[in-house]
Structure 1
Amino acid sequence: MFPKIWQILKESPEIYQATDRFIEAGDWLVLQLTGQEKRSSCNAGYKAIWDKKEGYPSTDFFAALNPKLKNIVKEKLSPDIYPIGSKAGGLISKMARLTGLKEGTPVAVGIIDAHSAVPATTVTQPGKMVLIMGTSTCHMLLSKEQKLIPGIPGVVEDGILPGYFGYEAGQAAVGDIFDWFISNCIPASYEREAEKLCINIYRFLEEKASK
């Protein structure tokens, strides 16, 4: 979050000044559903360098980036962070009508898409890794201990499940690279052969790779 805020301040200071709140999309959706601004430990920890014990970085840290960012948390964010699994509020009437759900239906605080896959795949204890592949890949682990591991900056207490440190690593581009490869590096003969077989190029390459 903060690199983007810093960019806005640098390139469009008038937008920065006019902005009341900078908020992650998941937290914004919860705000729309409940009328409550309740930011989650997942979004804050992995996207905004928040720590359960220390909170956000100090005002001196932000001032060193740009003096105008010194009080960014107090002025344009919120120091109040809620753990994964906690209730943000109930569905407001407007959203109840929009969704077809009952007004007051409990809404939990937000969680990042890949991170929600860990409990969704029934991994709720340490000892198993969940790999999620899409445009990027995320490798997820749970632990009762916090350890600083070179190359793994994504370690957040209550980041994936309450009571655990959630470790996140992976590759920033995977599906994007596959897409680039398909668009730029496939010979025309492969395209013609796939068309002749009435299959798409992805399946064609998968079948060739399996031989």
Structure 2
Amino acid sequence: MSAELLVGIDVGTYSSKGVLVSLDGQILRQHVIPHGISLPAPGHVEQDAEEVWWADTVALLRELLSGPYSGADVAGIALSAIGPTLLPLDREGRPLRPGILYGVDTRGGAQIDALQAEIGEEAIFAHSGMALTSQAIGPKMRWLREREPEVWARTRTLTTASSYLTFRLTGRHVMDHHTAAHSMPLYDPRARTWSAGFAPPVLGDRGLELLPDLAWSEELAGYVTAEAAAQTGLREGTPVAVGTVDALSEAVSVGAVNPGDLMIMYGSTTFFVLVQEAPTPDPRVWTVGGAFAGQHNLAAGMSTTGSLTRWFVDELAREHPTGEAYNVLFTEAAGIAPGADGLLLLPYFSGERTPINDPRARGVIAGLTLAHTRAHLFRAVLEGVGYGIRQNIEAFRDLGADVRRIVAVGGGARTRTWLQIVSDISGEAQVLPGRTVGASYGDAFLAGRAAGFLGPEDLNRWVKIADTIQPNAAPKADYDRLYGLYRDLYVQTRPTVHALSRSAG
């Protein structure tokens, strides 16, 4: 067999996934490896780059390239991962500490305040097209410089998860434009390049030489080295795409690549990617680049959604195995009427990203009575996420962004109960692709682009829509009223939960 297969690898928050795909989009093999996260301190969320990111990548490749397949069959590979994350490397490219995760890690609050005081909020927004939030990597770079000076002194490269994996395969440090945009205030989205103007407040006396090269996700990063080939089973010289964050590859995987397409990824967090013809910057959300050269994206993200249901299962459904517990809980929740009999939940269990951008927000459950059951609580969890999704969609439309089609994807999108709740709350239809493998499938397509085998139009052959979730009219009035209460509840409880957040460290 000639080299006509494509590999996609995605390293997510709680698992890593790999697929082996033919040039026409048929999945030949796939494999999943679960893993965890580390919570070393309140607000700190980390993963080990060597023991999780790279080890999972090697294990997935060894599994995919076994039996009837080998590295000689692979025409190209692309990798995505959680992001934007921060990983410092030494001069040999070795990690100096665990990776600091994306917006669920809220450690950079003091550094955000300092950067805003030194540069100015308006100046940062004017330069970056985004406000500084827990999603931003610039403040976490400053945190590393201030809080871990020994690590900082040894750092020669500041990279992210997908870029680190691409480096391990190719020996080249390169980052995609989508991820780089979150390194504000170091990235200039107009010039599509690193910018030294605001570097000193972030990097101190270090310069932009700490940062990787820049390229588009679909471009060629380099080729598999002899060392990487020996570890992974890939063929030396195999083309490697630049890659990107998992959410952007997820959008590619379901064909959300045309202006007006909004992908909602129901994962450990909920992530939104809206493709635009022209950017519409707003401090509530994120203005970033797309996967394909020259594209504009508007992005947003909630901090705790799938991970909230996972917490619920682990803490309140221990009598069932995990997979069975989800089935039980979703069945129970489907039997509860909209509104959960007066329960309302704010899903801010790890702070919240867009559109409130409040790392000190916390989960709130309001309206509990002795009549409420576990089923009511789980229904309130699903509805709380639904209200947050509606708030993000409304934020897009408030700033004039054009949302024409919503595509649902991710683990939560396999549960019709949750999708129907979201459509009923938001009043929005959601289309479902026939194949929802996830970001790894989008990675495989990016691999085909980088290797020169696929054009953008080939995505139409890879992705077919199978179903549409239409909103029900009956619960609209109740959900509209509860949505208003949801927004009020955050404002009214904010002083209390902020005080509790400070008291917890």
Q: Is 1:167 paired with 2:303?
A: no
The CA distance in 2 between the partners of 1:47 and 1:181, in whole Å, is 33
1:57 Cα offset (Å): 4.9
Q: 1:40 aligns with which of 135, 154, 176?
A: 176
Q: Is the 8 A contact 1:26 1:112 kept in 2?
A: yes
- The alpha-carbon distance between structure 1 residues 73 and 89, as it changes in their structure 2 partners (threshold 3 A), is same
Of 16-25 and 39-48, deviating more is: 39-48
The CA distance in 2 between the partners of 1:202 and 1:7, in whole Å, is 38
Q: 1:53 aligns with which of 190, 193, 197?
A: 190
Q: Is 1:87 paired with 2:205?
A: no
How large is the RMSD of aligned CA atoms in angstroms? 2.4
* 2:204 counterpart residue number: 69
State the identity as a percent. Answer: 25
Matches within 5 A, 1:195-210: 200-210=324-334
Q: 1:155 aligns with which of 276, 287, 299?
A: 287
Q: 2:272 aligns with which of 124, 139, 158?
A: 139
The CA distance in 1 between the partners of 2:166 and 2:318, in whole Å, is 45
Q: Is the 8 A contact 2:218 2:241 kept in 1?
A: yes
Q: Is the 8 A contact 2:216 2:291 kept in 1?
A: no
Please list the CA deviations of residues 102-139 of structure 1 after superposition, one character each: whole Å capped at 9, or x if unmatched: 22111011211111011111222112211111221101
The CA distance in 2 between the partners of 1:70 and 1:168, in whole Å, is 32
Give the total of aligned pairs.
196
Q: Normalization by structure 2: what TM-score?
A: 0.36
Gaps of 5+ in 1: none
Query: 1:63 corresponds to which letter in structure 2?
Result: P
Of Structure 1 and Structure 2, the greater helix share is in: 1
Query: 2:142 corresponds to which letter in structure 1?
Result: W
Stretches of 4+ moved more than 6 A in 1? none
The CA distance in 2 between the partners of 1:148 and 1:6, in whole Å, is 24
Please list the CA deviations of residues 135-154 of structure 1 after superposition, one character each: whole Å capped at 9, or x if unmatched: 211011111101113411x2
- The alpha-carbon distance between structure 1 residues 110 and 69, as it changes in their structure 2 partners (threshold 3 A), is farther
Of Structure 1 and Structure 2, the greater strand share is in: 2
The CA distance in 1 between the partners of 2:243 and 2:204, in whole Å, is 25
